[in-house]
């Protein structure tokens, strides 16, 4: 398979997966707000929320236009979230869910790298 075709395949898988990830994140966000008003997040919790789900979602949405840079932002947000969670709670989040929601970021980066590689002149 040609490098350009791999890049295109990664791009579209990342785009579809990113839409699904953002929709899942939105579903959880909408479900977590109660009409009676629940507890307000603390300042410390807002840091975690800024990284995940907000930062990750923004990075995934913006990666549609600038794959490499925005993909790196999404990866940085999820890594930052894991570091914050470890510092805040003393353990890492359990399960594969955060990885699955953030996986399109790596695909966007891979697509950008493959496009860059396919654009190089052959010698």
- pLDDT of 19: 97
Residue 1 has pLDDT above 80, yes or no: no
How much of the chain, in percent, has pLDDT values that exceed 90?
78
The per-residue pLDDT of the chain, averaged, comes to 91
Segments making up each domain of the chain, as ranges: 3-29+43-118
- pLDDT of 39: 77
How much of the chain, in percent, has pLDDT values that exceed 70?
92
Residue 31's pLDDT band, with cuts at 50, 70 and 90, is confident
| Contact assessment for residue 90 and residue 119, using Cβ atoms and an 8 Å cutoff | no
- Summarize the confidence of residues 33-61 as an average pLDDT: 87
- pTM exceeds 0.95, yes or no: no
């Amino acid at each position: 398979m040609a490098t350009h075709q791999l890049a295109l395949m990664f791009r579209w898988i990342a785009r579809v997966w990113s839409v699904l990830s953002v929709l899942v994140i939105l579903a959880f966000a909408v479900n977590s707000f109660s009409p009676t008003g629940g507890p307000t997040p603390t300042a410390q919790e807002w840091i975690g929320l800024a990284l995940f789900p907000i930062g990750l979602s923004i990075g995934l949405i913006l990666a549609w236009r600038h794959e490499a840079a925005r993909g790196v932002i999404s990866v940085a947000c999820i890594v930052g979230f894991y570091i914050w969670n470890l510092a805040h709670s003393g353990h890492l989040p359990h399960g594969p869910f955060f990885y699955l929601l953030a996986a399109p970021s790596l695909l966007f980066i891979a697509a950008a790298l493959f496009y860059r590689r396919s654009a190089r002149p052959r010698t």
